[in-house]
Structure 1
Amino acid sequence: MSKPQHLLAILSAMVAGAIVGVAVVLSRYVMKETTPEILALLRYSFGVLCFLPIAIPAYKGWFKLKDILPVAILGIGQFAILILLLNHSLNYISSARAALVFSTLPLQTMILAAVLGREKLTWQKSLGIILTILGLAVTEWRTLFSSDGNDQAWIGILLAAASGLCGATCSIFYRPYLERYATTTVSTFAMFASVAFLFLYSLPTDAFWEIPTLSDGVWWALVAVGASSGIGYFTWLWSLKHLAATTVTMFLCLGPITATLLGAIFLREAITTSFLAGLIIAIAGILIALAAKEKVTPIPQA
Protein backbone atom coordinates (compact mmCIF):
# COMPACT_ATOMS: atom_id res chain seq x y z
CA MET A 1 0.00 0.00 0.00
CA SER A 2 1.33 3.40 -0.99
CA LYS A 3 1.94 6.11 1.60
CA PRO A 4 -0.91 8.38 0.33
CA GLN A 5 -3.33 5.46 0.48
CA HIS A 6 -2.12 4.58 3.99
CA LEU A 7 -2.69 8.16 5.15
CA LEU A 8 -6.13 8.16 3.52
CA ALA A 9 -7.01 4.93 5.34
CA ILE A 10 -5.96 6.49 8.67
CA LEU A 11 -8.03 9.59 7.91
CA SER A 12 -10.97 7.34 7.05
CA ALA A 13 -10.63 5.54 10.40
CA MET A 14 -10.50 8.92 12.18
CA VAL A 15 -13.70 10.00 10.43
CA ALA A 16 -15.41 6.74 11.41
CA GLY A 17 -14.37 7.18 15.05
CA ALA A 18 -15.46 10.83 15.17
CA ILE A 19 -18.84 10.04 13.59
CA VAL A 20 -19.56 7.73 16.53
CA GLY A 21 -19.47 10.85 18.70
CA VAL A 22 -21.80 12.70 16.31
CA ALA A 23 -24.24 9.80 16.47
CA VAL A 24 -24.11 9.82 20.29
CA VAL A 25 -25.08 13.49 20.46
CA LEU A 26 -27.95 13.02 17.99
CA SER A 27 -29.07 9.87 19.79
CA ARG A 28 -29.37 11.76 23.07
CA TYR A 29 -32.04 13.90 21.45
CA VAL A 30 -33.88 10.97 19.82
CA MET A 31 -33.89 8.93 23.03
CA LYS A 32 -36.27 11.47 24.60
CA GLU A 33 -39.10 9.88 22.65
CA THR A 34 -38.17 6.28 21.92
CA THR A 35 -36.23 3.21 23.05
CA PRO A 36 -32.67 2.11 22.18
CA GLU A 37 -34.01 -0.74 20.04
CA ILE A 38 -36.25 1.52 17.94
CA LEU A 39 -33.46 4.08 17.65
CA ALA A 40 -31.14 1.41 16.25
CA LEU A 41 -33.83 0.12 13.86
CA LEU A 42 -34.66 3.53 12.42
CA ARG A 43 -31.06 4.71 12.46
CA TYR A 44 -29.80 1.86 10.32
CA SER A 45 -32.90 1.86 8.12
CA PHE A 46 -32.04 5.41 7.08
CA GLY A 47 -28.43 4.30 6.78
CA VAL A 48 -29.41 1.65 4.22
CA LEU A 49 -31.49 4.19 2.28
CA CYS A 50 -28.48 6.53 2.18
CA PHE A 51 -26.29 3.71 0.85
CA LEU A 52 -28.61 2.59 -1.97
CA PRO A 53 -27.99 5.51 -4.39
CA ILE A 54 -24.26 4.71 -4.17
CA ALA A 55 -24.45 0.93 -3.92
CA ILE A 56 -26.79 0.35 -6.89
CA PRO A 57 -24.68 2.22 -9.52
CA ALA A 58 -21.52 0.61 -8.10
CA TYR A 59 -23.04 -2.88 -8.17
CA LYS A 60 -20.71 -5.33 -9.94
CA GLY A 61 -22.09 -8.69 -8.90
CA TRP A 62 -23.73 -10.38 -5.95
CA PHE A 63 -22.12 -12.41 -3.20
CA LYS A 64 -21.15 -16.00 -3.67
CA LEU A 65 -23.73 -18.22 -2.01
CA LYS A 66 -21.31 -19.32 0.71
CA ASP A 67 -20.60 -15.68 1.68
CA ILE A 68 -24.18 -14.43 2.12
CA LEU A 69 -24.79 -15.85 5.59
CA PRO A 70 -21.38 -14.85 7.06
CA VAL A 71 -21.75 -11.23 5.88
CA ALA A 72 -25.31 -11.12 7.24
CA ILE A 73 -24.11 -12.46 10.62
CA LEU A 74 -21.32 -9.86 10.71
CA GLY A 75 -23.83 -7.10 10.00
CA ILE A 76 -26.19 -8.32 12.72
CA GLY A 77 -23.29 -8.59 15.15
CA GLN A 78 -21.89 -5.15 14.28
CA PHE A 79 -25.15 -3.20 14.34
CA ALA A 80 -27.69 -5.17 16.34
CA ILE A 81 -26.05 -7.42 18.94
CA LEU A 82 -23.27 -4.95 19.78
CA ILE A 83 -25.73 -2.06 20.29
CA LEU A 84 -28.22 -4.15 22.27
CA LEU A 85 -25.53 -5.46 24.63
CA LEU A 86 -24.15 -1.97 25.19
CA ASN A 87 -27.59 -0.44 25.73
CA HIS A 88 -28.60 -3.12 28.22
CA SER A 89 -25.35 -2.60 30.15
CA LEU A 90 -26.61 0.91 30.95
CA ASN A 91 -29.31 -0.66 33.13
CA TYR A 92 -26.56 -1.64 35.58
CA ILE A 93 -23.69 0.84 35.21
CA SER A 94 -23.17 4.49 34.31
CA SER A 95 -22.67 5.56 30.71
CA ALA A 96 -19.11 6.67 31.57
CA ARG A 97 -18.22 3.27 32.98
CA ALA A 98 -19.87 1.49 30.04
CA ALA A 99 -17.95 3.67 27.57
CA LEU A 100 -14.65 2.89 29.30
CA VAL A 101 -15.28 -0.87 29.33
CA PHE A 102 -16.33 -0.72 25.67
CA SER A 103 -13.14 1.22 24.86
CA THR A 104 -11.20 -1.98 25.55
CA LEU A 105 -12.39 -3.06 22.08
CA PRO A 106 -9.02 -2.26 20.43
CA LEU A 107 -7.20 -4.24 23.12
CA GLN A 108 -9.58 -7.17 22.63
CA THR A 109 -9.13 -6.86 18.87
CA MET A 110 -5.34 -6.94 19.15
CA ILE A 111 -5.34 -9.99 21.43
CA LEU A 112 -7.91 -11.87 19.35
CA ALA A 113 -6.12 -11.03 16.08
CA ALA A 114 -2.83 -12.26 17.57
CA VAL A 115 -4.43 -15.51 18.80
CA LEU A 116 -5.94 -16.10 15.35
CA GLY A 117 -2.62 -15.32 13.68
CA ARG A 118 -4.03 -12.30 11.82
CA GLU A 119 -1.74 -9.68 13.40
CA LYS A 120 1.55 -9.56 15.25
CA LEU A 121 1.39 -8.44 18.89
CA THR A 122 3.78 -5.51 19.40
CA TRP A 123 4.73 -3.52 22.48
CA GLN A 124 4.12 -0.22 20.68
CA LYS A 125 0.53 -1.04 19.83
CA SER A 126 -0.07 -2.46 23.30
CA LEU A 127 1.27 0.70 24.95
CA GLY A 128 -0.66 2.93 22.57
CA ILE A 129 -3.97 1.17 23.20
CA ILE A 130 -3.46 1.18 26.98
CA LEU A 131 -2.77 4.93 26.82
CA THR A 132 -5.94 5.60 24.79
CA ILE A 133 -7.99 3.67 27.36
CA LEU A 134 -6.27 5.57 30.17
CA GLY A 135 -6.99 8.83 28.36
CA LEU A 136 -10.70 8.02 28.15
CA ALA A 137 -10.69 7.10 31.83
CA VAL A 138 -9.19 10.48 32.71
CA THR A 139 -11.75 12.37 30.60
CA GLU A 140 -14.62 10.73 32.53
CA TRP A 141 -12.86 10.63 35.91
CA ARG A 142 -15.56 12.54 37.79
CA THR A 143 -18.39 10.18 36.84
CA LEU A 144 -16.50 6.96 36.22
CA PHE A 145 -16.48 5.67 39.77
CA SER A 146 -19.74 7.18 40.92
CA SER A 147 -21.76 4.56 42.81
CA ASP A 148 -25.52 4.27 43.12
CA GLY A 149 -25.44 1.30 45.47
CA ASN A 150 -26.06 -1.16 42.67
CA ASP A 151 -24.68 -4.58 43.62
CA GLN A 152 -25.28 -5.89 40.09
CA ALA A 153 -22.75 -3.61 38.40
CA TRP A 154 -20.73 -6.66 37.40
CA ILE A 155 -23.55 -7.63 35.02
CA GLY A 156 -23.27 -4.28 33.26
CA ILE A 157 -19.49 -4.59 33.04
CA LEU A 158 -19.80 -8.06 31.48
CA LEU A 159 -22.41 -6.83 28.98
CA ALA A 160 -20.25 -3.84 27.95
CA ALA A 161 -17.19 -6.09 27.64
CA ALA A 162 -19.22 -8.57 25.55
CA SER A 163 -20.28 -5.68 23.33
CA GLY A 164 -16.63 -4.79 22.79
CA LEU A 165 -15.75 -8.42 22.05
CA CYS A 166 -18.56 -8.53 19.49
CA GLY A 167 -17.11 -5.46 17.77
CA ALA A 168 -13.59 -6.89 17.89
CA THR A 169 -14.69 -10.19 16.34
CA CYS A 170 -16.62 -8.49 13.53
CA SER A 171 -13.73 -6.12 12.78
CA ILE A 172 -11.36 -9.05 12.28
CA PHE A 173 -13.64 -11.28 10.23
CA TYR A 174 -14.85 -8.58 7.84
CA ARG A 175 -11.51 -8.42 6.03
CA PRO A 176 -11.80 -11.43 3.65
CA TYR A 177 -15.19 -10.21 2.38
CA LEU A 178 -13.90 -6.66 1.93
CA GLU A 179 -11.09 -8.06 -0.20
CA ARG A 180 -13.53 -10.02 -2.40
CA TYR A 181 -16.32 -7.47 -2.82
CA ALA A 182 -16.85 -3.72 -3.11
CA THR A 183 -17.06 -1.89 0.21
CA THR A 184 -20.45 -0.42 -0.75
CA THR A 185 -21.85 -3.90 -1.45
CA VAL A 186 -20.68 -5.30 1.89
CA SER A 187 -21.83 -2.19 3.76
CA THR A 188 -25.33 -2.13 2.29
CA PHE A 189 -26.05 -5.83 2.70
CA ALA A 190 -24.60 -6.07 6.23
CA MET A 191 -26.59 -3.05 7.39
CA PHE A 192 -29.75 -4.39 5.71
CA ALA A 193 -29.33 -7.70 7.57
CA SER A 194 -29.12 -5.83 10.88
CA VAL A 195 -32.27 -3.85 10.04
CA ALA A 196 -34.16 -7.09 9.34
CA PHE A 197 -32.99 -8.53 12.67
CA LEU A 198 -33.88 -5.36 14.61
CA PHE A 199 -37.31 -5.24 12.93
CA LEU A 200 -38.15 -8.74 14.18
CA TYR A 201 -36.66 -7.94 17.59
CA SER A 202 -38.67 -4.70 17.98
CA LEU A 203 -41.94 -5.87 16.42
CA PRO A 204 -43.48 -7.27 19.67
CA THR A 205 -42.73 -4.08 21.65
CA ASP A 206 -45.15 -1.21 22.30
CA ALA A 207 -42.52 1.29 21.20
CA PHE A 208 -42.56 -0.15 17.67
CA TRP A 209 -46.22 0.76 17.22
CA GLU A 210 -45.58 4.26 18.55
CA ILE A 211 -43.11 5.11 15.77
CA PRO A 212 -45.70 7.17 13.79
CA THR A 213 -46.17 9.45 16.82
CA LEU A 214 -42.55 10.65 16.88
CA SER A 215 -42.18 14.41 16.53
CA ASP A 216 -40.87 16.11 13.40
CA GLY A 217 -37.68 17.15 15.20
CA VAL A 218 -36.94 13.53 16.12
CA TRP A 219 -37.53 12.37 12.55
CA TRP A 220 -35.04 14.94 11.25
CA ALA A 221 -32.55 13.83 13.89
CA LEU A 222 -33.07 10.21 12.83
CA VAL A 223 -32.37 11.13 9.20
CA ALA A 224 -29.17 12.88 10.31
CA VAL A 225 -28.00 10.03 12.55
CA GLY A 226 -28.85 7.51 9.81
CA ALA A 227 -26.83 9.43 7.22
CA SER A 228 -23.91 9.78 9.61
CA SER A 229 -24.09 6.06 10.40
CA GLY A 230 -23.98 5.22 6.70
CA ILE A 231 -20.93 7.43 6.14
CA GLY A 232 -19.28 6.17 9.32
CA TYR A 233 -19.81 2.52 8.48
CA PHE A 234 -18.48 2.93 4.93
CA THR A 235 -15.32 4.69 6.16
CA TRP A 236 -14.97 2.05 8.89
CA LEU A 237 -15.08 -0.84 6.41
CA TRP A 238 -12.88 0.94 3.88
CA SER A 239 -10.28 1.41 6.62
CA LEU A 240 -10.55 -2.26 7.62
CA LYS A 241 -9.84 -3.14 4.00
CA HIS A 242 -6.49 -1.32 4.10
CA LEU A 243 -5.39 -1.33 7.75
CA ALA A 244 -5.07 -3.84 10.56
CA ALA A 245 -8.26 -4.24 12.57
CA THR A 246 -6.45 -3.19 15.77
CA THR A 247 -5.40 0.12 14.23
CA VAL A 248 -8.90 0.91 12.97
CA THR A 249 -10.68 0.07 16.23
CA MET A 250 -8.23 2.22 18.17
CA PHE A 251 -9.79 5.33 16.62
CA LEU A 252 -13.06 4.58 18.41
CA CYS A 253 -11.63 6.65 21.27
CA LEU A 254 -12.44 9.68 19.12
CA GLY A 255 -16.15 8.92 19.60
CA PRO A 256 -16.58 10.03 23.23
CA ILE A 257 -14.09 12.85 22.67
CA THR A 258 -16.11 14.17 19.72
CA ALA A 259 -19.34 13.77 21.69
CA THR A 260 -17.91 15.88 24.53
CA LEU A 261 -16.72 18.61 22.15
CA LEU A 262 -20.07 18.74 20.35
CA GLY A 263 -21.86 18.76 23.69
CA ALA A 264 -19.81 21.78 24.70
CA ILE A 265 -20.53 23.59 21.42
CA PHE A 266 -24.25 22.86 21.01
CA LEU A 267 -25.43 21.88 24.50
CA ARG A 268 -23.18 24.25 26.48
CA GLU A 269 -21.68 21.39 28.49
CA ALA A 270 -18.49 22.28 30.35
CA ILE A 271 -15.03 21.25 29.14
CA THR A 272 -13.04 20.17 32.19
CA THR A 273 -9.31 20.06 32.80
CA SER A 274 -9.61 16.27 33.20
CA PHE A 275 -11.08 16.09 29.67
CA LEU A 276 -8.17 18.09 28.23
CA ALA A 277 -5.64 15.93 30.09
CA GLY A 278 -7.33 12.74 28.93
CA LEU A 279 -7.44 14.04 25.35
CA ILE A 280 -3.67 14.60 25.37
CA ILE A 281 -3.05 11.09 26.78
CA ALA A 282 -5.37 9.49 24.20
CA ILE A 283 -3.72 11.33 21.29
CA ALA A 284 -0.29 10.27 22.58
CA GLY A 285 -1.52 6.66 22.64
CA ILE A 286 -2.75 6.89 19.04
CA LEU A 287 0.54 8.36 17.83
CA ILE A 288 2.58 5.66 19.60
CA ALA A 289 0.43 2.88 18.15
CA LEU A 290 0.56 4.37 14.64
CA ALA A 291 4.37 4.46 14.86
CA ALA A 292 4.39 0.65 15.04
CA LYS A 293 5.00 -1.16 11.78
CA GLU A 294 1.85 -2.86 10.59
CA LYS A 295 1.96 -6.44 9.49
CA VAL A 296 -1.29 -8.09 8.55
CA THR A 297 -1.45 -11.74 7.53
CA PRO A 298 -2.94 -12.02 4.01
CA ILE A 299 -6.33 -13.71 3.77
CA PRO A 300 -6.61 -16.61 1.29
CA GLN A 301 -8.95 -15.78 -1.59
CA ALA A 302 -11.18 -18.82 -1.38
Structure 2
Amino acid sequence: MDSLRTLRDFLRWGASRFVAADLFYGHGTAGAADEAAVLLAHVLHLDLPLAPEFLDAALTADERAAVRAVLRRRVVERLPAPYLTGEAWFAGLRFAVDPRVLIPRSPIAELIESGFSPWLDEAPPGRILDIGTGSGCIAVACALAFPEAVVDAVDISADALDVAAVNVARYGLQARVRPVQSDLYAALAGQRYDLIVSNPPYVPETEYAGLPAEYRHEPGSALVSDDQGLEHPLRILYGALDHLTEDGLLVLEVGATWPALAARLPQVPFIWVELERGGEGVAVIERRVLAEALA
Protein backbone atom coordinates (compact mmCIF):
# COMPACT_ATOMS: atom_id res chain seq x y z
CA MET A 1 0.00 0.00 0.00
CA ASP A 2 2.88 2.40 0.66
CA SER A 3 3.81 2.11 -3.00
CA LEU A 4 0.59 3.88 -4.00
CA ARG A 5 1.50 7.55 -4.20
CA THR A 6 0.08 9.25 -7.27
CA LEU A 7 -3.36 9.78 -8.70
CA ARG A 8 -2.46 7.34 -11.47
CA ASP A 9 -1.47 4.71 -8.88
CA PHE A 10 -4.81 4.92 -7.11
CA LEU A 11 -6.79 5.03 -10.33
CA ARG A 12 -5.17 1.78 -11.46
CA TRP A 13 -5.41 0.18 -8.01
CA GLY A 14 -9.05 1.08 -7.60
CA ALA A 15 -9.98 -0.21 -11.05
CA SER A 16 -8.12 -3.46 -10.37
CA ARG A 17 -9.91 -3.96 -7.07
CA PHE A 18 -13.27 -3.29 -8.69
CA VAL A 19 -12.64 -5.84 -11.42
CA ALA A 20 -11.47 -8.43 -8.89
CA ALA A 21 -14.60 -7.82 -6.80
CA ASP A 22 -16.84 -8.23 -9.88
CA LEU A 23 -18.71 -5.00 -9.18
CA PHE A 24 -21.69 -3.91 -11.27
CA TYR A 25 -21.73 -0.60 -13.12
CA GLY A 26 -25.24 0.49 -14.00
CA HIS A 27 -25.55 3.84 -12.28
CA GLY A 28 -23.75 6.28 -14.52
CA THR A 29 -20.42 4.73 -15.45
CA ALA A 30 -19.40 2.14 -18.02
CA GLY A 31 -16.75 0.17 -16.13
CA ALA A 32 -14.16 -0.10 -13.38
CA ALA A 33 -11.80 2.63 -14.56
CA ASP A 34 -14.61 5.16 -15.01
CA GLU A 35 -16.06 4.27 -11.61
CA ALA A 36 -12.69 4.71 -9.91
CA ALA A 37 -12.17 8.04 -11.68
CA VAL A 38 -15.55 9.33 -10.44
CA LEU A 39 -14.71 8.47 -6.84
CA LEU A 40 -11.18 9.88 -7.02
CA ALA A 41 -12.43 13.12 -8.55
CA HIS A 42 -15.00 13.47 -5.78
CA VAL A 43 -12.56 12.90 -2.92
CA LEU A 44 -9.86 15.12 -4.44
CA HIS A 45 -12.26 17.87 -5.61
CA LEU A 46 -11.21 17.51 -9.23
CA ASP A 47 -13.20 17.82 -12.43
CA LEU A 48 -13.89 14.98 -14.82
CA PRO A 49 -12.32 13.85 -17.01
CA LEU A 50 -9.21 13.81 -14.86
CA ALA A 51 -6.62 16.17 -16.33
CA PRO A 52 -3.54 14.28 -17.64
CA GLU A 53 -1.20 16.75 -15.92
CA PHE A 54 -2.58 15.65 -12.53
CA LEU A 55 -2.18 11.91 -13.00
CA ASP A 56 1.41 11.77 -11.76
CA ALA A 57 0.89 14.21 -8.91
CA ALA A 58 1.56 12.71 -5.48
CA LEU A 59 -1.33 12.64 -3.02
CA THR A 60 -0.95 13.85 0.56
CA ALA A 61 -1.25 11.38 3.42
CA ASP A 62 -4.78 12.59 4.20
CA GLU A 63 -5.79 12.33 0.55
CA ARG A 64 -4.42 8.80 0.30
CA ALA A 65 -6.38 7.75 3.36
CA ALA A 66 -9.61 9.30 2.05
CA VAL A 67 -9.19 7.69 -1.37
CA ARG A 68 -8.51 4.26 0.13
CA ALA A 69 -11.59 4.59 2.33
CA VAL A 70 -14.00 5.42 -0.49
CA LEU A 71 -12.61 2.75 -2.81
CA ARG A 72 -12.93 0.16 -0.07
CA ARG A 73 -16.51 1.18 0.66
CA ARG A 74 -17.36 0.69 -3.01
CA VAL A 75 -16.03 -2.86 -2.83
CA VAL A 76 -17.17 -3.93 0.63
CA GLU A 77 -20.60 -2.27 0.76
CA ARG A 78 -21.36 -2.44 -2.97
CA LEU A 79 -22.68 1.11 -2.78
CA PRO A 80 -23.10 2.66 -6.23
CA ALA A 81 -20.74 5.57 -6.79
CA PRO A 82 -23.50 8.25 -6.76
CA TYR A 83 -24.44 7.28 -3.21
CA LEU A 84 -20.79 7.65 -2.19
CA THR A 85 -20.40 11.03 -3.88
CA GLY A 86 -23.92 12.27 -3.09
CA GLU A 87 -24.59 13.37 -6.65
CA ALA A 88 -25.52 12.13 -10.10
CA TRP A 89 -25.88 13.62 -13.57
CA PHE A 90 -29.09 13.60 -15.61
CA ALA A 91 -29.80 15.45 -18.86
CA GLY A 92 -26.56 17.36 -18.39
CA LEU A 93 -27.58 18.53 -14.92
CA ARG A 94 -26.13 17.70 -11.50
CA PHE A 95 -28.51 16.32 -8.85
CA ALA A 96 -28.17 15.55 -5.17
CA VAL A 97 -28.94 11.88 -4.46
CA ASP A 98 -28.88 9.50 -1.52
CA PRO A 99 -30.42 6.08 -0.75
CA ARG A 100 -33.87 7.67 -0.28
CA VAL A 101 -34.18 7.92 -4.07
CA LEU A 102 -33.27 6.02 -7.20
CA ILE A 103 -30.08 7.09 -8.90
CA PRO A 104 -31.10 9.05 -12.03
CA ARG A 105 -30.47 7.05 -15.21
CA SER A 106 -33.72 7.16 -17.18
CA PRO A 107 -33.37 7.31 -20.97
CA ILE A 108 -36.18 9.85 -20.84
CA ALA A 109 -33.32 12.36 -20.43
CA GLU A 110 -32.72 12.03 -24.16
CA LEU A 111 -36.31 13.06 -24.92
CA ILE A 112 -36.18 16.01 -22.52
CA GLU A 113 -33.00 17.31 -24.13
CA SER A 114 -34.74 17.22 -27.52
CA GLY A 115 -37.84 18.98 -26.16
CA PHE A 116 -39.85 15.80 -26.80
CA SER A 117 -39.52 16.43 -30.51
CA PRO A 118 -41.43 15.90 -32.72
CA TRP A 119 -44.47 15.47 -30.48
CA LEU A 120 -44.32 18.87 -28.78
CA ASP A 121 -42.76 20.91 -31.57
CA GLU A 122 -45.89 22.95 -32.27
CA ALA A 123 -47.22 23.46 -28.74
CA PRO A 124 -44.83 23.56 -25.74
CA PRO A 125 -46.54 22.27 -22.59
CA GLY A 126 -47.84 24.76 -20.04
CA ARG A 127 -48.50 22.19 -17.30
CA ILE A 128 -46.35 19.09 -16.75
CA LEU A 129 -46.76 16.18 -14.35
CA ASP A 130 -43.82 13.98 -13.31
CA ILE A 131 -45.10 10.80 -11.63
CA GLY A 132 -42.62 9.05 -9.34
CA THR A 133 -40.29 12.01 -9.25
CA GLY A 134 -37.74 10.58 -6.80
CA SER A 135 -34.81 12.99 -6.85
CA GLY A 136 -36.84 15.39 -8.98
CA CYS A 137 -34.49 14.98 -11.93
CA ILE A 138 -37.18 14.64 -14.58
CA ALA A 139 -39.28 17.45 -13.11
CA VAL A 140 -36.33 19.85 -12.89
CA ALA A 141 -35.03 18.96 -16.35
CA CYS A 142 -38.50 19.46 -17.84
CA ALA A 143 -38.89 22.82 -16.13
CA LEU A 144 -35.57 23.98 -17.55
CA ALA A 145 -36.42 22.63 -21.01
CA PHE A 146 -39.75 24.48 -21.00
CA PRO A 147 -39.18 27.81 -19.21
CA GLU A 148 -42.87 28.80 -19.34
CA ALA A 149 -44.17 25.55 -17.84
CA VAL A 150 -45.17 24.70 -14.28
CA VAL A 151 -44.47 21.18 -13.05
CA ASP A 152 -46.06 18.99 -10.40
CA ALA A 153 -43.49 16.49 -9.10
CA VAL A 154 -45.37 13.60 -7.50
CA ASP A 155 -44.06 10.81 -5.30
CA ILE A 156 -45.65 8.63 -2.64
CA SER A 157 -42.47 8.87 -0.53
CA ALA A 158 -42.05 11.89 1.74
CA ASP A 159 -38.33 11.06 1.98
CA ALA A 160 -37.98 11.20 -1.79
CA LEU A 161 -39.79 14.54 -1.90
CA ASP A 162 -37.30 15.94 0.62
CA VAL A 163 -34.50 15.11 -1.83
CA ALA A 164 -36.50 16.51 -4.74
CA ALA A 165 -37.01 19.78 -2.85
CA VAL A 166 -33.23 20.12 -2.49
CA ASN A 167 -32.79 19.78 -6.23
CA VAL A 168 -35.65 22.12 -7.04
CA ALA A 169 -34.02 24.74 -4.82
CA ARG A 170 -30.60 24.07 -6.35
CA TYR A 171 -31.92 25.30 -9.69
CA GLY A 172 -34.08 28.08 -8.24
CA LEU A 173 -37.32 26.53 -9.48
CA GLN A 174 -39.46 26.76 -6.36
CA ALA A 175 -41.96 29.00 -8.16
CA ARG A 176 -42.48 26.52 -11.01
CA VAL A 177 -41.87 23.02 -9.64
CA ARG A 178 -44.18 21.80 -6.89
CA PRO A 179 -43.35 18.59 -4.99
CA VAL A 180 -46.59 16.74 -4.19
CA GLN A 181 -46.97 13.67 -1.98
CA SER A 182 -49.40 11.40 -3.75
CA ASP A 183 -49.99 7.78 -4.72
CA LEU A 184 -49.89 8.43 -8.47
CA TYR A 185 -52.94 10.63 -9.19
CA ALA A 186 -54.62 10.33 -5.77
CA ALA A 187 -53.91 13.92 -4.67
CA LEU A 188 -54.48 15.45 -8.10
CA ALA A 189 -58.27 15.40 -8.45
CA GLY A 190 -59.40 17.78 -11.18
CA GLN A 191 -55.86 18.55 -12.36
CA ARG A 192 -55.02 18.28 -16.06
CA TYR A 193 -51.67 18.46 -17.79
CA ASP A 194 -50.35 18.95 -21.29
CA LEU A 195 -47.55 16.47 -20.62
CA ILE A 196 -47.34 13.56 -18.20
CA VAL A 197 -43.93 11.93 -17.82
CA SER A 198 -43.29 8.91 -15.65
CA ASN A 199 -40.49 6.50 -14.81
CA PRO A 200 -42.51 4.41 -12.33
CA PRO A 201 -41.75 1.10 -10.63
CA TYR A 202 -41.90 -1.62 -13.29
CA VAL A 203 -39.54 -4.42 -12.22
CA PRO A 204 -41.29 -7.75 -11.50
CA GLU A 205 -40.56 -9.18 -8.07
CA THR A 206 -39.00 -12.29 -9.62
CA GLU A 207 -36.51 -10.18 -11.57
CA TYR A 208 -35.74 -7.92 -8.63
CA ALA A 209 -34.53 -10.91 -6.64
CA GLY A 210 -31.83 -11.51 -9.23
CA LEU A 211 -30.55 -7.95 -9.62
CA PRO A 212 -26.92 -7.13 -8.73
CA ALA A 213 -26.24 -6.15 -5.12
CA GLU A 214 -25.78 -2.49 -6.07
CA TYR A 215 -29.51 -2.16 -6.77
CA ARG A 216 -30.41 -3.34 -3.27
CA HIS A 217 -29.24 0.00 -1.88
CA GLU A 218 -31.96 1.77 -3.84
CA PRO A 219 -35.52 1.94 -2.45
CA GLY A 220 -37.21 -1.27 -3.57
CA SER A 221 -40.60 0.41 -3.65
CA ALA A 222 -39.32 2.64 -6.44
CA LEU A 223 -38.31 -0.37 -8.53
CA VAL A 224 -40.76 -3.20 -7.93
CA SER A 225 -44.30 -3.37 -9.27
CA ASP A 226 -46.78 -6.22 -8.83
CA ASP A 227 -48.65 -7.96 -11.62
CA GLN A 228 -45.50 -8.85 -13.58
CA GLY A 229 -44.23 -5.29 -13.23
CA LEU A 230 -47.39 -3.81 -14.73
CA GLU A 231 -49.41 -2.59 -11.75
CA HIS A 232 -48.03 0.95 -11.72
CA PRO A 233 -47.76 1.38 -15.51
CA LEU A 234 -51.37 0.25 -16.01
CA ARG A 235 -52.68 2.59 -13.31
CA ILE A 236 -50.77 5.46 -14.91
CA LEU A 237 -52.14 4.66 -18.36
CA TYR A 238 -55.76 4.45 -17.33
CA GLY A 239 -55.50 7.44 -14.98
CA ALA A 240 -53.93 9.57 -17.70
CA LEU A 241 -57.30 9.85 -19.43
CA ASP A 242 -58.61 11.91 -16.51
CA HIS A 243 -55.48 14.05 -16.15
CA LEU A 244 -54.30 14.88 -19.66
CA THR A 245 -55.65 17.79 -21.62
CA GLU A 246 -57.43 16.98 -24.87
CA ASP A 247 -54.20 17.28 -26.86
CA GLY A 248 -52.01 16.02 -24.01
CA LEU A 249 -49.11 13.60 -24.29
CA LEU A 250 -48.07 10.69 -22.06
CA VAL A 251 -44.44 9.54 -21.90
CA LEU A 252 -44.09 6.32 -19.92
CA GLU A 253 -40.95 4.28 -19.24
CA VAL A 254 -41.33 0.56 -18.58
CA GLY A 255 -37.87 -0.67 -19.54
CA ALA A 256 -37.56 -4.38 -20.24
CA THR A 257 -41.19 -4.85 -19.16
CA TRP A 258 -42.37 -3.34 -22.45
CA PRO A 259 -43.21 -6.66 -24.16
CA ALA A 260 -45.48 -7.57 -21.24
CA LEU A 261 -47.25 -4.21 -21.45
CA ALA A 262 -47.65 -4.47 -25.22
CA ALA A 263 -49.07 -7.98 -24.82
CA ARG A 264 -51.47 -6.89 -22.06
CA LEU A 265 -52.81 -3.99 -24.15
CA PRO A 266 -52.46 -5.13 -27.77
CA GLN A 267 -55.06 -2.62 -28.89
CA VAL A 268 -53.00 0.36 -27.74
CA PRO A 269 -50.72 1.70 -30.52
CA PHE A 270 -47.78 2.69 -28.34
CA ILE A 271 -44.91 4.49 -30.04
CA TRP A 272 -41.75 2.86 -28.69
CA VAL A 273 -39.01 5.44 -28.96
CA GLU A 274 -35.74 4.48 -30.64
CA LEU A 275 -33.12 5.81 -28.23
CA GLU A 276 -29.77 6.90 -29.63
CA ARG A 277 -27.94 6.61 -26.30
CA GLY A 278 -29.29 3.22 -25.29
CA GLY A 279 -32.13 2.01 -23.14
CA GLU A 280 -35.52 0.58 -24.03
CA GLY A 281 -39.17 0.61 -23.21
CA VAL A 282 -40.07 4.31 -23.43
CA ALA A 283 -43.59 4.69 -24.80
CA VAL A 284 -45.17 7.85 -26.17
CA ILE A 285 -48.91 8.15 -26.77
CA GLU A 286 -51.34 11.01 -27.25
CA ARG A 287 -54.44 11.19 -25.06
CA ARG A 288 -56.83 11.02 -27.99
CA VAL A 289 -55.21 7.83 -29.26
CA LEU A 290 -55.14 6.31 -25.78
CA ALA A 291 -58.79 7.16 -25.13
CA GLU A 292 -59.89 5.52 -28.37
CA ALA A 293 -57.81 2.42 -27.69
CA LEU A 294 -59.10 1.99 -24.13
CA ALA A 295 -62.74 2.79 -24.90
TM (norm. structure 1) is 0.24
Larger Rg: 2
Pick the structure with more strand per residue: 2
Pick the structure with more helix per residue: 1
TM (norm. structure 2) is 0.24
